[in-house]
Amino acid sequence: MALPPLVEPAAELSVDEIRRYSRHLIIPDVGMDGQKRLKNAKVLAVGAGGLGSPTLMYLAAAGVGTLGIIDFDTVDESNLQRQIIHGVSDVGTPKAESAARSIAEINPLVNVVIHNTALDRDNVKEIFSQYDLIVDGTDNFATRYMVNDAAVLLGKPYVWGSIYRFDGQASVFWEEHGPCYRCLYPEPPPPGMVPSCAEGGVLGVLCASIGSIQVNEAIKLITGIGEPLVGRLMVYDALEMEYRRIKVRKDPNCALCGENPTVTDLLEDYEDFCGAVSEEAQEAVTGSTITARELKEWQDSGKDVFLVDVREPAEWEINRIPGAVLIPKGEVLSGEALSRFPQDRQIVLHCKSGVRSAEALAALKAAGFKDAVHVQGGIVSWVNTVDPSLPSY
């Protein structure tokens, strides 16, 4: 689906700009008009890491007039394997500043705006409102959902990319013309189901493959040429050298852009929505986590298990694991319910997906219940792997 140009063209190109962008100017589909639109465009790169590196470098080389960079991290030696906008001399310096220096070497005609801060619900709308287009190179689900929600609420298009090991994905989300990220992924995966690149690794050159697709889509949107990946997901397998396109339809039941949206503003806590857990909880679950199948085996073998559901009463009414008792997480964290936990039985906690049970487990261990464990994936995993007859929600 062809779309109109995202921005109006600048008044003119200088002699220096004509010389620099001559290879664009002789392409009929780009020409003077397209290059003037690139000059007039304001693009924000969310992240100056693996995807942000090639994105920023090629957007700068292409002549995008204003490039914003938002990143609060500093360059680490482990970044250099894939984050090619940074070098050895940049280790320890803010990524946004390092990236800006590299951009100045690539194209001094570009105006670079540095946002050396963490993107959060308090600043995302104000920052996004300054730009025509957002390019998302983030590596965590909480920020991805926030970027999507802010873009939809502001009516901004954004180019999304994701990488892991040898696999990459890219798409364009623009609520006015197609689906949003929530149409593709209505809910984040359960905690621990999708390892981060820091946990699972990423082939460095994959960043260039997906980043170049993102830049290609940005140029198409700005200049109004070709057919952007609106309503399509590009999936890349570097090992098989295979690209696949998957059609993504706008979901009429989408919580954000559907016919009856339930999300009408930014969420209060995206970390909580995406199942992020505290450091204490992460430490507590290490070596104290079982699967839903292991729980079933314990029950079938007659093991004396004290199974505790730490969800809320309304969730308990929807479904429950046989043999469980309900003790909401809040009562565990407050200490109110600690007297209900036996010292001579195997304590097993669960919630919906494993987040709340991890937090409750940390509180129990701090109270002296050192042998307590929790169920990875919670009742979602139980339904998927043990008892699919139970209703899900």
What pLDDT tens digit does each residue of the chain (393 aa) get? 789 999 999 999 999 999 999 999 999 999 999 999 999 999 999 999 999 999 999 999 999 999 999 999 999 998 999 999 999 999 999 999 999 999 999 999 999 999 999 999 999 999 999 999 999 999 889 999 999 999 999 999 999 999 999 999 999 999 999 999 999 999 887 655 565 676 467 999 999 999 999 999 999 999 999 999 999 999 999 999 999 999 999 999 999 999 999 999 999 888 778 866 777 888 899 999 999 999 999 999 999 999 999 999 988 999 999 999 999 999 999 999 999 999 999 999 999 988 889 999 999 999 999 999 999 999 999 999 999 999 877
Helix residue spans in 6-129 (DSSP H): 15-20, 22-25, 31-40, 52-62, 95-106, 124-128
Q: Which residues of 321-353 are buried (b: 16+ CB within 10 A; e: fewer)?
A: beebeebbbeebbeeebeeebeeeeebbbbbbb
Q: Nearest Cα to 297, choosing from 372, 192, 359, 385?
A: 385
Topology (CATH) of 15-274: Rossmann fold (3.40.50)
Q: How far is CA 67 from CA 48, 64, 140, in A?
A: 12, 7, 22
Active-site residue flag, 257: no
Catalytic site residue from 183, 257, 274, 351: 351
CA 113 – CA 117 distance, rounded (Å): 12
pTM attached to this predicted model = 0.74
Domain with CATH 3.40.50.720 in the chain: 15-274
Topology (CATH) of 279-386: Oxidized Rhodanese; domain 1 (3.40.250)
In 10 A of CB 19, how many CB atoms? 10
Catalytic site residue from 180, 197, 207, 274: 197
Active-site residue flag, 180: no
The pair of three-digit structure tokens given for residue 57, joined into one six-digit string: 């470098």
Domain with CATH 3.40.250.10 in the chain: 279-386
Helix (H) or strand (E) holding 181: helix 181-184
